[in-house]
Amino acid sequence: MPRANPLAWLSEEIEGWKRAGTYQRLRVLESACEPVARFDGREVINLASNNYLGLANHPKLVEAAIEATRRYGAGSGAVRTIAGTMTLHVELEQRIARFKRVEACVVFQSGFTANAGTVAAILGPEDTIISDELNHASIIDGCRLSKARIRIFPHRDFEAAGRMLAELDGTPGRKLLITDGVFSMDGDIAPLPVLVELAERHGAIMMVDDAHASGVLGRNGRGTIDHFNLHGRVDIQVGTLSKAIGCLGGYICGSRDLIEYLYHRGRPFLFSTSHPPAVAAACLAAFDLLEQEPERIEKLWENTRYFKEQLRREGFDTGISETPITPIMVGDAALAHAFSQALFEEGLMATGIGYPTVPRGKARIRTIVTAVHTREHLDRALEILVRVGRRMGIGRRV
Ligand SMILES: *Cc1c(COP(=O)(O)O)cnc(C)c1O
């Protein structure tokens, strides 16, 4: 007798998403990641990447990757702690530590594993984590893995965070205050100066995830810690190599002891193979560019200011964004996905985002301009947004 399929419930679940209009097929990028790119056979203006500085397909990164591949091969052959630590990995960690003005750095396979692996490594069941409600999923997973008690404060509500910390004064166990530097779906910036002061006052470890701030905020893109001049006061800084740096990877910056500890206890570091040489070499080339060509970051912000201003002028609700991440709030998830689809058909790639990536009822399309979009690209994108928005009742009420 044929066995009943124990995964039959998956089909029902997926049919439900299709009925609700929240089912998403993966769009396939058929060109390099560029300001105008080809997805699913269509040339579109690409406002959906995290390629802030246009480094993902930069000739210097591409050359560095090819050169490293020729010299050192396609793969590293082992996890870092067994035999997979190559010269390029060490160079990259030293380079990032210097750039971030900290003692030491460890590179993980991704920003996700950096967050999850670190939080889980430094906290245990007797400890407490105080976490912003909009922190990235990798922070949330790390918190859960650690088995520590998790207390969530309302988004950017430092008074609530302060009350939670005060309640823990005098209790045993470590405390971790953790926040994104720039929030990935709303594009706003954490109130870091106050949070840092709270952590200091209550003896908590301060951890900041600068995935969307590295290469974007601070001098030469050093992130929110540099932006607010908080050097030496944030115990654990997280960054990604997958966004503005244009490649792949994540890193933790902090004291030498923190990094030594993670070399021994960061589970993704211990149990998952290190980057291919090409990745480390391309990242190194990207840090050269950050230091040599700060005008890329200026251009990114010039484009950001222009695009946001034009969107607001056209009556779009861009939420609370202060950075190049600019959501266009829609509310209903099915409408956000339909808006995104209609934009795509008119030549603009801007992804619809709904639950569980953002709370229910706060669906949106998310746009990110880059340093390599021209004014003409942005004007064309605006024209499409306005035209399609009018048709669908999104944007200016007339
Ligand atoms: C994208 C992102 C990550 C994950 O980085 P990857 O390198 O893509 O794994 C972590 N934290 C935040 C806030 C992010 O936006």
Class of domain 59-292: alpha beta
CB of 39 within 8 A of CB of 28?
yes
Class of domain 21-52+294-392: alpha beta
Reply yes or no on whether the pLDDT at 289 is more than 90. Answer: yes
Q: What is the pLDDT of residues 316-349, one digit of tens each?
A: 999 999 999 999 999 999 999 999 999 999 999 9
Reply yes or no on whether the pLDDT at 28 is more than 80. Answer: yes
CA neighbor of 218 nearest in space, from 233, 229, 232: 229
- Residue 225 tokens, joined: 């810690």
Phi-psi region of 237 (alpha: psi -120 to 50; beta: other; left: phi over 0): beta
Mean pLDDT of 373-380: 98
As annotated, the residues of the chain forming the CATH 3.90.1150.10 domain(s) are 21-52+294-392
Mean pLDDT of 78-94: 97
Q: What is the DSSP letter of 35?
A: S
pLDDT band at 398 (very low <50, low <70, confident <90, very high): very low
Our mutation pick for probing the ligand 1 site, out of 132, 240, 242, 283, counting the most ligand atoms within 8 A of Cβ, is: 240
308 catalytic, yes or no?
Answer: no
- Which pLDDT belongs to residue 31? 98
Cα–Cα distance, 152 to 110 (Å, whole number) = 24
Residues with CB under 6 A from ligand 1: 110-112, 115, 136, 138, 180, 184, 209, 211-212, 240, 242, 250
Our mutation pick for probing the ligand 1 site, out of 112, 217, 323, counting the most ligand atoms within 8 A of Cβ, is: 112
As annotated, the residues of the chain forming the CATH 3.40.640.10 domain(s) are 59-292
pTM for this prediction: 0.96
- Residue 346 tokens, joined: 């008119």
CB of 52 within 8 A of CB of 371?
yes
Q: What is the pLDDT of residues 58-78, one digit of tens each?
A: 999 999 999 999 999 999 999
* C-alpha 136 to ligand 1 mean position (Å): 7
CB of 330 within 8 A of CB of 365?
yes
